[in-house]
Amino acid sequence: MTEKLLCIIGERYPLTPIPDSCVEGLKASGMKFNIRAYHAEGLGHVSVMTAKGFFGLMKMDTLIVNPDEVDLPLYSYDRIFAMGNDTLIVELYDTLSEDGFSMEDVKAKYPSLTERDPGEHWYDSIKLKESISKKGKKADTPLLSELAIEHLCAYLSAAVPTDKAEKKREKSRYYVEGLLSKGGPSTDAFKKAIGEERTAELFRSILFGTK
């Protein structure tokens, strides 16, 4: 699914692989991760992470967009397949340089999909209401994928030019440094597997491009 989302981005913003940003076979929490990053011309930093584990019973896809060339929030897509369950999490974080971001409420078009309780986290204060947290079974996968695609397209369509790229970068760094210091599900797993220093380098240089 991440490849489809990546193609949608690439149709609007040409993608160039970032040298030395490919990480293959990284292991954490029983999962094997492959990661790569791109510069999206006119948009910003894009990264893709795929993971498999537990004899193929669990798969996870992640796509992150850290836009500093247009005024959009930071975008984080996670899709988790485990034991017949399909979970879709799309979180948008306020890295905007101006107020007034709005996006058509795509979620309302999919009332049959079950809401997932995301729990409480330190970053809730900067997470936007346009974020998605849904769960379903294998039969719900096509609908969850349709929602993910429509939501990404609406996100990209909301882009407006900005001349305050550094302000956006500061907000992105605040979020990433918060993950590294205060934690998050993936952050904690990587710290345990590869240590704090390598995790910080991975997050700053490859996943979010804030270094």
Res 211: pLDDT: 84
Residues of the chain with pLDDT under 50: none
Res 54: pLDDT: 80
Res 39: pLDDT: 97
3-class DSSP state of 89: strand
Q: Is residue 8 packed enough to be buried (19+ CB in 10 Å), middle (13-18) or exposed (0-12)?
A: middle
Res 29: pLDDT: 84
Predicted confidence (pLDDT) per residue in 59-89, tens digit: 999 999 999 999 999 999 999 999 889 999 9
Nearest-angstrom CA–CA distance, 32 and 54:
10
Res 200: pLDDT: 96
Is the CB of residue 132 less than 8 Å from the CB of residue 89?
A: yes
Residue type, 155: Y
pTM score over 0.75: yes
Res 68: pLDDT: 92
Closest CA to 152 of 104, 209, 204: 104
Res 76: pLDDT: 98
Task: Give the CA-trace dihedral at 52, 54, 58, 61, to 10 degrees.
Answer: -20
Domains of the chain: 2-207 (3.40.1500.20)
